[in-house]
Amino acid sequence: ALLPYVPRVPPAALPGKLTATTFALERPCCIFNRHANASDTVWLVVAFANASSAFKNPPSRADVPPYERLPTAHSYMTLETAAAAYACSAPSLAVLRVGGDTACGDRGGRDPCNGPLPSPGPYRVKFLVMGCHGPKAETRWSDPILLRRASSPSTINPAPTHRSSHMFVIASILASLGAVLAAAVLCAVGAEVWGSLCRRDPGTDAFAHRSYRTHHIPPALPQPLPPGCRCSPPGLGCFAPRPPGPCPSK
C-alpha cells in the first residue's frame, strides 16, 4: 500500500537539524495503524536522490541492504522500529535522528546501522512497513535533503578583517572594565606598600607619642640624726657640733 505521508525535515529551528553527516526527520504518528500489526516493523529507507527511483523493496528482512553498501548500492535501510512505536497512543520523541550512530564501522555490517552519511547528498527517504512475508506499506519519498558541507581547515581565516559594530562595542566595554580593575589593584597595592614604609620609619611625630622607660634612682630616705648633731640650713646637710674650745686667758 502506498501511503500519502511524505517524510520531511522539521520546519522549526532546532539544534543539529542539518549537519555535515546527520539530519533530523519528523517522527510519523498515526500513519501505519491501518496497515501494520503488532509484529510488524517500520524501516527508514535512505537513498541518494538520483538513485531513489531505482530502489527495490527487499522481499524479506534477510535482504535488507546494510549501511556499509551505501557507497556502491547508493541506498540502505535503517531505524528498524516496532510498528507500535508509531501508534497514536504511543509516547514518542518529536524527531528522528538519521546518521547519529558513530559506531557503525565496528559492527562489520552484520546488523542494520544508523551511521553518519558520507557526503552532503542530496538524499531522499521513505518509511517502509515490513511484515513476516515482506513489505506491506510504504510512504512517499521525501523531497531532496541536502546536508551542510564541512569547511576545510585550510579555508579558515585565523584573523578575520570584518567585524560588526557590536563586537567593537563589546571589546571597548571589556577594555574599560579591565583598565578600571587594573587601576583598583594598583591603588590597593600602592597603599599597602606606603603603609609598610611608614611603619618602618615612623619619624619624630611617632617618636613624640611613644613612651619610654628610663632608669629611675629613688630618693634617699632620711636617716636618723646621730646624737649631738644639729641640722644645718637646708641643702648643706647635717654635721656634728664641734666641742667648745678653751677659753682665752686674760
**Residue 22 pLDDT greater than 70, yes or no:** yes
Most confident of 105-119, 139-153, 190-204, 224-238: 139-153
Q: Report pLDDT for 199.
A: 54
**Residue 236 pLDDT greater than 60, yes or no:** no
Check: CB of residue 142 under 8 Å from CB of residue 7.
yes
Q: Report pLDDT for 209.
A: 47
Q: The domain 2-150: what is its CATH number?
A: 2.60.40
Q: How far apart are CA 52 and CA 45, in angstroms?
A: 9
Q: How far apart are CA 164 and CA 171, in angstroms?
A: 11
Q: Report pLDDT for 250.
A: 47
**Residue 12 pLDDT greater than 60, yes or no:** yes
Q: Which of 26-30, 105-109, 150-154 has the lowest mean pLDDT?
A: 150-154
**Residue 158 pLDDT greater than 70, yes or no:** no
| 190 vs 39, higher pLDDT | 39
Question: For residue 202, what pLDDT band results from cuts at 50, 70 and 90?
Answer: very low
Please list, in sequence order, all residues whose beta carbon lies within 8 angstroms of the beta carbon of residue 48, skipping any fewer than 6 positions away.
Answer: 74, 75, 121, 122, 123, 124
The pTM (predicted TM-score) of the whole model is 0.59
Q: How far apart are CA 44 and CA 4, in angstroms?
A: 16
Q: Report pLDDT for 212.
A: 42
**Residue 57 pLDDT greater than 50, yes or no:** yes
Q: Average the pLDDT over 221-242 and give the result.
A: 50
Cell of 121: 547528498
Amino acid identity at 50: N
Check: CB of residue 103 under 8 Å from CB of residue 109.
no
Q: Which of 14-18, 69-73, 92-96, 220-224 has the lowest mean pLDDT?
A: 220-224
**What is the per-residue pLDDT across 102-148, written as a single tens digit (0 to 9) for each?**
888 665 556 789 999 999 989 999 999 999 889 999 999 999 999 98
Q: Which of 123, 120, 122 is nearest to 149 (CA)?
A: 120
Q: Report pLDDT for 15.
A: 87
Q: What is the mean pLDDT of the chain?
A: 75
Please list, in sequence order, all residues whose beta carbon lies within 8 angstroms of the beta carbon of residue 118, skipping any fewer than 6 positions away.
Answer: 21, 70, 71
- Tell me the domain boundaries of the chain: 2-150
**Residue 177 pLDDT greater than 70, yes or no:** no
**Residue 200 pLDDT greater than 60, yes or no:** no
**Residue 203 pLDDT greater than 60, yes or no:** no
Q: Average the pLDDT over 68-91 and give the result.
A: 88
Question: For residue 150, what pLDDT band results from cuts at 50, 70 and 90?
Answer: low
Q: Report pLDDT for 145.
A: 96
DSSP assignment, residue 61?
G
